[in-house]
Amino acid sequence: MKDSIKHYFSDSYVEARDKFLQAATVAKAKLFSYEIESDSPEKLTIDVAIIGKKTQPALLISSGVHGVEGFFGSAVQTAFLDTLKDAENRPPLRYIFVHAVNPYGFSQLRRVNEDNVDLNRNFLTELSDYHGAPEGYEPLNKLLNPTVVPSRRELFKLKVFYKILRHGGLQPLKNAIAGGQYAFPKGIFYGGNKPGQSVQIIQKQSTAWLGDSQKILHIDLHTGLGRPGSYKVLIIEPFHSQKIEWYNELFGEGYVENLKKGEGTAYNASGTFGEWMQHYFEDRDYRFVAVEYGTHPILRVLSALRAENCLHHYGTASEKRRNEIKNEILECFYPASESWRKKVLSSGIDIIKKGEWKLQQSVKEA
C-alpha cells in the first residue's frame, strides 16, 4: 500500500472508477464493464475485475450497493488490488472485485439507484414479494417522507425521540423504518416493484464471475451504521447454522452480528444482496458478510437521508440549502476526517486479508 491514504480516496465516482480500473490493470486482472442506463450525463458502469483460475476458492469483494457508500468501498478495493500486483507471490485464489454495484447513487450522491430503489432491499426471488411495508412504516410515512424540503431548524430528532418512546425503543423503530418497504415509491428504504438494472446484471453474470469455485467468501462493504470508525461484521446465517462459529473464529465474536436477530447495529431487512447470493449458490460453500463501518450518530444519518430524498423528489430549495443537503449526505456516509479514512482503510484491508488467509487454509486442507 502506498504511503499516502489520499491516493485511494476520491472526490467523485469518475475518479474512483479510474483509480479502480488502473489498479486492476496493473494487477493484470480481467476486466468486465456493464453499463447502467439513467438520466445521468456521465457514463455509469458496474466494473468487475477478476484474478485467478475458475476452479480456485473465491474471494468476492463488492462495493457501492448503497451508491454514496461506494467512496469507502472503492478505496478499500483499490488498495487491496495494489497488494496483488506481484503475480508470483499471490495466493492460489480467485479474486472477484465488483465495483460500484449502484453507480448512479455513487455518481449522484444518493444511497438509492436511478429508480429511487434501495438495492439491498431489491434482491427478492419472486415478483409477488415486491409489496407491502413493515408494520409501523405507514404511520411514520409523513414524518419520514415530507413533501417540503426540511429546514435546518426543524425539530426532526425530537420527533424521532418521541416515536422511539412510542415504539418501545430504538431497535423496533429501526426495523420498521429500514427493513425494506414496497408501498411508497418516493419513500426512503423503497425496495422497488421489480429487480433493478444492477440486480439483473448480478443475477445474470455472477455465475460466470464465480466460475467453478466451490468455496466462496463474499465481503460486501458498507458505511453509515455504528460508532464512528468502528465496524461490525453482519451475517445472515440461520440461528441453528454451524457456520456461525466459523465467522466468530475468523472475525472475532465481538465483531460478528446476525442480521436475522433484528437487533444490534443493523436491522432485519428483506431482499438483501447477500441473502440472494447465498440462496442462489446454495449448492456451494458460500459465506457472506456485510462489513458495516460507523460514521455519525444514527439520527443524524436518518435525517440526512430524509432531507436528500425529499430534495430529490420535491427539490424546491435554494442553491445554498441544496448544497448543504448534498454535503451532509456525503459526510454521513463518507466522512471527510482524515483519521476516519485512515482507520477504515487499514481495518478494511485487514478484514479482507483475514478472509484471504482463511481461504488459503481451505486450499491447504483440501
pLDDT tens digit sequence for 51-75: 999 999 999 999 999 999 999 999 9
pLDDT at 168: 64
Q: Is the pLDDT of residue 265 over 70?
A: no
Q: Assess contact for 163 and 140: CB atoms under 8 A.
A: yes
Report whether pLDDT(252) > 80.
yes
Residue 135, pLDDT above cutoff 90: no
| Per-residue model confidence (pLDDT) at position 24 | 98
- Determine the average pLDDT of the residues in 296-307: 95
Question: Dihedrals φ, ψ of 287, to 5°?
Answer: -105, 135
What residue ranges do the domains of the chain occupy?
5-123+195-297+332-365, 133-190+299-330
Rounded Cα gap, residues 166 and 162, in angstroms: 6
Max Cα-Cα span within the chain: 62
Task: Evaluate if residue 119 carries a pLDDT over 50.
Answer: yes
pLDDT at 79 over 80: yes
219 alpha carbon, distance to own chain's centre: 10
Q: What percent of the chain has pLDDT over 90?
A: 78
Strand partners, 34: 46
Q: Distance between CA 111 and CA 309 in Å, rounded?
A: 9
Which residues are paired to 31 by β-bridges? 49
Tens of pLDDT, residue by residue over 141-180, are 999 999 999 988 888 878 887 776 676 666 777 778 889 9
Domain 5-123+195-297+332-365 falls in which CATH fold? Aminopeptidase (3.40.630)
Selection from 163-172, 174-183, 241-250, 322-331 with the highest mean pLDDT? 322-331
The pLDDT assigned to 152 comes to 83
The pLDDT of 318-346, averaged and rounded, is 96
What is the rounded average pLDDT for all residues in the chain? Answer: 92
Alpha carbon distance 44, 14 (integer Å): 9
**3-class SS at 34?**
strand
pLDDT of residue 155: 80
Residue 79 and residue 74: Cα distance in Å, rounded? 8
Q: What pLDDT band is residue 31 in, cutting at 50, 70 and 90?
A: very high
| Confidence bin at 263 (pLDDT 50/70/90) | low
- Identify which of 96-110, 131-145, 225-239 has the greatest average pLDDT: 96-110
Q: What share of the chain is helix, strand, coil (3-state, %, to 5)?
A: 45, 15, 35
- Position 154 scores a pLDDT of 82
pLDDT digits (tens, 9 = 90+) for 170-199: 677 777 888 999 999 999 999 999 999 999
| DSSP alpha helix (H) spans, 221-318 | 244-251, 273-280, 298-314
Confidence of residue 136 (pLDDT cuts 50, 70, 90): confident
Taking the CA atoms of residue 10, residue 333, residue 352 and residue 344 in that order, the dihedral angle to the nearest 10 degrees is 80
Mean pLDDT of 254-278: 83
Q: Closest Cα to residue 290, out of 298, 280, 278, 302?
A: 278
Residue of 123, 169, 116, 131 whose CA lies nearest to 298: 169
Mean pLDDT of 18-33: 98
Closest by CA position to 334, among listed 290, 299, 294? 294
Mean pLDDT to the nearest integer, 317-339:
96
